[in-house]
A and B are shown apart, each in its own frame.
Chain A
Amino acid sequence: MSANRTLSVPYLARVEGEGAMHVRIKDGRVENVEVRIFEPPRFFEAFLRGRMFLEAPDITARICGICPVAYQMSAVHALEAALGIQVDGPLRDLRRLLYCGEWIESHALHVYMLHAPDFLGYPSVVHMAADHPQLVNDALALKRTGNQIMTVVGGREIHPINVKVGGFYHTPTKAELDTLVAPLERALETAVATARFAATLTFPELTLHHELIALRHPDDYPMNEGRLVSDRGLDISAQQYQEHFAEEHAAHSNALHSHHKGTETYLVGPLARMALNRDRLTPLARRTADEIGLETPCRNPFRSNLVRAVELVLACEEALRLIRGYREPREAAVAVAARKGIGWAMTEAPRGMLYHRYCLDDHGLIEDANIVPPTSQNLRAMEADLRAFVTAHLHLDDAELTLRCEQAIRNYDPCISCATHFLKLDVARS
């Protein structure tokens, strides 16, 4: 094998958005690793300025077609904090239910359609369907169930229309939610089967040493609420986020890289969430995690699919619990009046913590917005993983090593559309 090699993937497949990978090996050592983000910037934070607060959940949903609910949830919680209102009871439960729908849809998409083909040796899920029809049917059934939840609660699966600052535009009846019970019961079984299937895969060895960061809530596995904690003692509120984290711009990337001041690299997403919240799992999810031998903490990013599978079980169980306990609220939303204020919120998108901050003027117009998506927080960790993995696997030939590197990137389920939403300047005028 030559001591000087270049591994290059000009267009990463089976990720959301447009990115490339470039690894340069010189004299038998990894000289440079870049995950290049060439997805064009879309400047959301710039054009949120001057918009009415009520528009923010729908506008920010358009940052990402894969996790619009995450944007809507972080937006409404941050805006409600700015406006001094609290949403509780059945409305709070409906929001968690909606988030369960997105987790199920997004995790099923990733586990089966984006990531599993790597482990089973296929270029895509369609190719995989010929040999593994049951797996693909399971994937589609799970995804459909997640989408059904989003359709009933949110109106549609991509860019739901029913999320409002203060609650919802219209709340579902008990009978409407009950239609989800039977599909969810089947989905729960499928999710357990998914975890068992994921446990049969062979995982490359890699141990990551990033700081693990996720929300933590007193009672629940975190989705919409909680403080930001880490395995190294971080414990802060959303309001304190910007004191502890900063974003910087790397020349090779159209996405800002986020870093936690004082630490080398950190990780958000399923691995971190599970490591910090295993004791908050629902009963069957906990049993499933034990049964498949998921270690705590799991520090091999290739095993993140096991974690997603356990979170699929959790999301199905939670959705069933929320539906069974649902009482139709009297009002679809808490009354909201415009006022001046600043609000912050963090929620757990399927890919990890998503931070929103808004400043509002007296009329409820947005003066300033700041959004930090999970993928831009994970970019540094992703590059560090690639470096570590390539260093340990220099004996592999270029094709194999390149494939494994792509897989290492897909471990993060990166959402490049999200990561490039926010560059704020637009210069080259045609």
Chain B
Amino acid sequence: MALAQQKPKLARKPKLAVWKFSSCDGCQLSLLDCEDALLTVAGAVEISNFPEASREVGKGPYDISLVEGSITTPHDAERVHDVRRQSKYLVTIGACATAGGIQALRNFASVKDFASRVYARPEVLSVLGKSTAISDHVAVDFELHGCPVSKHQLIEVLRAFLQDARPDIPSYSVCMECKRRGSVCVMVARGMACLGPVTHAGCGALCPSYHRGCFACFGPAETANTAALARHLAATGVAADDLLRAFRTYHAAAEPFRRESENHER
């Protein structure tokens, strides 16, 4: 395992911190899901702050901060600056931290829509009207895509930052992974709607291998031509409402998807 082989340059182990904002906890669970690699990680770094795993809270500054979740409260909008100040490298993990997550669906709702959904004591809630990515608030050193992130990519990112290297995380589309895997194209062969052509790689083209069109849980690829895909899907009979929802789910606030979904609003 590459992590174990790395020669420590520092007298002390690099300090790792894991932070949570608005999220489902799945991306930080990916770290615990690394299982065998978890102990290797624990050997290569000092896990200094990881409340989901440990009661012990180590003081900053931290060499690497992994940040999960989006900013949805005034308090969190402040707290993320503290995290940045204490972190040499700040890496966002997952769709929430990288693009605002599924909870960014609120960004498209009007106050009027919410007015009918009043719950018992709204005055005690303190939440922002929009769910935003970490990079909207502070500088981010690397953004790892995925809802959830791939644990293999998570380990690769840690390896790279520990070795002061650039993470080997391709930014091309799911189509590349599908071809490499040898999967038959579900759009061509089965006529299924698939967002693979505009979706960031990283899952290993999972859905097409399960006979399902990609639903873009890794967010937009670096050069996503959403308009061309939408035109193609519309020509095959996908309705405007369905296109709108397809682009407005797990990465609703990611710029290419936000713009494309708005093209299909009625």
- Which residues of A are interface residues toward B (Cβ below 8 A)? 11-18, 38-43, 46-47, 51-52, 55, 58-59, 62-66, 68, 109, 113, 117, 123-127, 129, 136, 140, 143-144, 147, 155-159, 161-162, 169-170, 248-249, 251, 254, 256, 332, 406, 417, 423-430
Contact = CB atoms under 8 A, between A and B. Distances in A.
A104 to B, nearest CB: 13
Interface stretch (B126-134, B220-228, B256-264): B126-134
A304 to B, nearest CB: 19
B54 A156 contact: no
A147 B33 contact: yes
A14 B120 contact: no
B109 A46 contact: yes
A423 B122 CA distance: 9
Contacts of B33: 143, 147, 157-158
Contacts of A156: 148, 203, 206
Given A109-B29, A117-B55, A430-B128, 4 more contacts: A113-B53, A124-B47, A170-B212, A249-B121
B165 interface: no
A41 B127 contact: yes
* Chief secondary structure at chain A's binding surface: loop
B265 interface: no
A51 B245 contact: yes
Given A62-B147, A248-B120, A254-B125, A425 B207 contact: no
A168 B242 CA distance: 21
Contacts of B210: 155, 161-162, 169-170
B111 A429 contact: yes
Contacts of B73: 40
Contacts of A423: 119, 125
B212 A425 contact: no
B51 interface: yes
Contacts of A63: 24
Contacts of B120: 248-249
Contacts of B3: none
A46 B106 contact: yes
A109 B118 CA distance: 37
B32 A155 contact: no
A138 to B, nearest CB: 12
Contacts of B57: 13
Given A127-B54, A140-B36, A169 B215 contact: no
B202 to A, nearest CB: 11
Contacts of A427: 114, 122, 125, 127
B237 interface: no
B65 interface: no
A68 B148 CA distance: 11
A430 B127 CA distance: 9
18 contacts: A13-B53, A13-B54, A14-B55, A40-B73, A43-B106, A47-B109, A52-B242, A52-B245, A65-B28, A66-B24, A68-B24, A124-B55, A136-B39, A158-B26, A170-B209, A425-B114, A427-B125, A430-B129
B4 to A, nearest CB: 15
A429 B128 CA distance: 5
Contacts of B26: 62, 64-66, 68, 158-159
Contact of A11 (B21, B30, B51): B51
Contacts of B122: 425, 427
Interface string B193-229: 0000000000100110111100101000000000000
Contacts of A109: 29, 32
Contact of B124 (A123, A251, A429): A251
Given A124-B55, A427-B127, A417 B23 contact: yes
B164 interface: no
B255 interface: no
Given A14-B52, A162-B210, A65 B148 contact: yes
B46 to A, nearest CB: 10
A428 B125 contact: yes
B42 interface: yes
A140 B55 contact: no
Interface of B: 20-30, 32-33, 35-36, 38-39, 42, 47, 50-57, 72-76, 101-103, 105-106, 109, 111, 113-114, 117-122, 124-130, 147-148, 203, 206-207, 209-212, 215, 217, 242, 245, 249-250
Contacts of B52: 13-16
Contact of B20 (A18, A117, A158, A426): A18
Contacts of A428: 74, 125-129
Given A52-B242, A428-B127, A144 B35 contact: yes
Contact of A426 (B42, B55, B101, B127): B127
Nearest to A164: B212
Contacts of A12: 51
Residue of A157, A256, A428 with highest tally of chain B CB at under 10 A: A428
Contacts of B55: 13-14, 117, 123-124, 406
Contacts of B102: 42, 47, 59, 62
A96 to B, nearest CB: 19
A65 B24 contact: yes
B38 A426 contact: no
A249 B118 CA distance: 12
B145 to A, nearest CB: 14
A129 B250 contact: no
Contacts of A426: 106, 109, 114, 125, 127, 129
Nearest to A429: B129
Contacts of A417: 23-25
Contacts of A55: 245, 249
A142 to B, nearest CB: 10
A42 B96 CA distance: 11
Contact of B103 (A42, A58, A126, A147): A42
Contacts of B29: 16, 65-66, 109, 158
